[in-house]
A and B are shown apart, each in its own frame.
Chain A
Amino acid sequence: MLESDLRALFERQAASEPPPAPVSVPAAQRIGRVHLRRRRAGTVASPLLAVGAVAAVALSGAISPGAAHQSDTPRASATPRASATPRPSPAQTQPAPITKAVGAAPRQFNPLLEYASFGWLPFSHPVIVGGTGLSYEFLEGSSPSLQNTFNWTANAAGACRLAGKNLTCQGQSVADRLTSRAPDIDGHVAYWGYVPLPPPGPVNQILAYQYARGGWATLEFVGNRYHPDALKIAQDMRLGQALRLRFAVQLTGLAARWHLATDQGFNATPAGPLDRGFGFISQPRPDSNAPAPLEITAQPASTEGVGTCANTRWSVASANGSNTTVGPGTRRVINGYHVYVNSQDQILCANNVDGLSLAIQIDPPTSIPSLNVVSIFTHHLRVLGTDPANWTRDPIAP
């Protein structure tokens, strides 16, 4: 009797007329991308770490645009990562020549450069996603159906520590139950293990190994341990390439202390548009240790469901890791473009600016006294369109 009453109650509640949904799918995608990036970087709750690293790099000058001329090979296609790394199909018996890393792992990665690429993947037309921060670079290769994925992450020298059966990078556990030795990879130690705290469903496996002296890499995949494809992928990674990336937007007229902190992009195989999102982080203000991050995301405007601004609510991930749902932005016309501006939370979203949808966010909102999202959009941002031929290798220009 009580059980039937419960069913009736639940059915009635579920059938009641709901108000318009304040839930935002594009916001979930945007926040989800941030989570993915941080998860891959092993910095889920430590944006401060990244900012601190930027300050250190600024002092050494290692990230200045001029430091990125080791290889300036032009890229012909709309998919820089893909064009830089031809991927043989499984049917090819002779893998392409492999560039092995030598010596020590980099102390920092350069977001202007591509350090690594896949030398081999078990898919004939993989979808490649990649991103670089100061302390990491990740590449994800998926089957065309996206059902099968290999996620490779390299961490900067000294960023990781192997303690017992657990590998931590930047203070975050990235692999645990490293109980079985895998065959050495390029002469370095390797272990099979698991991704910590898996969600419901299949447990992801991981191959953790030293890709160069002092630097750990992980390859995450779904499947059985001792996956032969995982071993071959790890063995065939091309490392130490230092190829320059191109960007669809450019910041201009900012103080010299601004540097590119992270970037992320992907190649939608086989010839889809390159989607390049990237973030900028300024130095901490002289009078404060507070970070002043500015993130700009550019995506093809035609991508359905992404970058759509006409939502009444935003989910904002604050610097302390919590999320807050905030009110709607105000629709405005700036330089002839329709944009949505949330001044309180310093978010600007544009559905279509020369073929790109844009999202600009300053977090924390008051962290850059001299700038706001509108002034950045109006005076400091060049949108270079969807044609990669017009893109730039210098995302921050004088």
Chain B
Amino acid sequence: MTSQRDAEYAEYVSVRLPALRRLALLLCQDRHRADDLVQQAIIRVYVHWVKASGADNTDAYVNAILVREFLHERRSGWTRRVRVTDQLPESPILTADPDGLIDLQAAVTKLPPGQRAALVLRYYCDLNIDQTAAALGCTTGTVKSQTAKALAALRSRLAGDAPSADRQPSARARHHSGEASHHA
């Protein structure tokens, strides 16, 4: 819009870009998706730059835009967008596993976006319940339940049990098991 506004925006985003990419990476668990997410988010930041720059905590405001863009885009299927790149597919984020974190990473990747976002905001951004609720645009009760469900799902997966949703047999399996019990 204005030279001054553009300059302030460009300076802010340039400085914050590494942090935004890190947060997006944790939310998406995929670098390419994360960079797409950041690109979309900083467009929204540009559109709302006057509010963002005037917010009490601009960083928190911009983080909230990123998180909400993540949740919104996941709902609207943005991952189907065409992407042209000359880069090779990335290698796994964790290449060594001294602390047994690869299993945890895999489990986190399987969490629904809302639960994953709650975990990232609570345990990476160190936000309290109220701050997490504000960032997600939901109630504190929802944050508590999302966090609890996420932790339960992770514990279940790490213990070797598939969570209840994963234990649901397929229709074909149900059909066969039903037939088996029926015959029995």
A273 with B124: in contact, given A14-B22, A21-B17, A325-B84 (CB under 8 Å)? Answer: no
Residue in contact with A23 in the complex, picked from B21, B53, B135, CB distance below 8 Å: B21
Residues of chain B from 107 to 159 with CB closer than 8 A to chain A in the complex: 108, 119-120, 123-124, 134-135, 137, 151, 154-155, 158
Establish whether residues A149 and B50, one from each chain, have CB atoms under 8 Å apart when the complex forms. yes
Q: A275: which B residues are within 8 A, CB to CB?
A: 2-3
Q: B53: which A residues are within 8 A, CB to CB?
A: 146-147
User: How far apart sit A11 and B119, CA to CA, in the bound complex (Å)?
Assistant: 13
Interface assignment of A29: CB less than 8 Å from any CB of chain B: yes
Interface assignment of A36: CB less than 8 Å from any CB of chain B: yes
Q: Which of B5, B18, B87, B155 has the most CB of A within 10 A?
A: B5
For residue B56, give the distance in angstroms from its CB to the closest CB of chain A.
9
Establish whether residues B7 and A304, one from each chain, have CB atoms under 8 Å apart when the complex forms. yes
User: How far apart sit A34 and B89, CA to CA, in the bound complex (Å)?
Assistant: 32
Q: Which of A29, A129, A204, A323 has the most CB of B within 10 A?
A: A29
Nearest residue, chain A, Cβ from B37: A23
Interface assignment of A142: CB less than 8 Å from any CB of chain B: yes
Interface assignment of B83: CB less than 8 Å from any CB of chain A: yes
Q: A256: which B residues are within 8 A, CB to CB?
A: none
Nearest residue, chain B, Cβ from A35: B47
Nearest residue, chain A, Cβ from B80: A322
Interface assignment of A337: CB less than 8 Å from any CB of chain B: no
- Chain B's interface size range is 35 or more
| Stretch in contact with the other chain, from B98-106, B160-168, B172-180 | B98-106
Establish whether residues A315 and B94, one from each chain, have CB atoms under 8 Å apart when the complex forms. no
Q: A327: which B residues are within 8 A, CB to CB?
A: 84-86
User: How far apart sit A144 and B51, CA to CA, in the bound complex (Å)?
Assistant: 15
Establish whether residues B105 and A9, one from each chain, have CB atoms under 8 Å apart when the complex forms. yes
User: How far apart sit A6 and B135, CA to CA, in the bound complex (Å)?
Assistant: 20
Establish whether residues A129 and B1, one from each chain, have CB atoms under 8 Å apart when the complex forms. yes
Establish whether residues B99 and A5, one from each chain, have CB atoms under 8 Å apart when the complex forms. yes
Establish whether residues B50 and A147, one from each chain, have CB atoms under 8 Å apart when the complex forms. yes
Q: A175: which B residues are within 8 A, CB to CB?
A: none
Establish whether residues A23 and B42, one from each chain, have CB atoms under 8 Å apart when the complex forms. yes
A300 with B54: in contact, given A306-B10, A325-B84 (CB under 8 Å)? Answer: no
Establish whether residues B87 and A300, one from each chain, have CB atoms under 8 Å apart when the complex forms. no
Establish whether residues A146 and B2, one from each chain, have CB atoms under 8 Å apart when the complex forms. yes
A306 with B3: in contact, given A3-B123, A5-B101 (CB under 8 Å)? Answer: yes
Establish whether residues A29 and B6, one from each chain, have CB atoms under 8 Å apart when the complex forms. yes
Establish whether residues B94 and A200, one from each chain, have CB atoms under 8 Å apart when the complex forms. no
Establish whether residues B51 and A199, one from each chain, have CB atoms under 8 Å apart when the complex forms. yes
Residue in contact with A36 in the complex, picked from B36, B47, B104, B151, CB distance below 8 Å: B47
Q: 9 new A-B pairs (CB below 8 Å) besides A6-B104, A13-B93, A25-B10?
A: A7-B123, A9-B105, A18-B22, A23-B21, A32-B49, A35-B46, A200-B64, A204-B51, A305-B14
Which 10 residue pairs are nearest across A and B when measured between Cβ atoms?
Answer: A32-B46, A305-B10, A10-B124, A14-B22, A200-B64, A28-B42, A6-B123, A147-B54, A28-B43, A268-B3
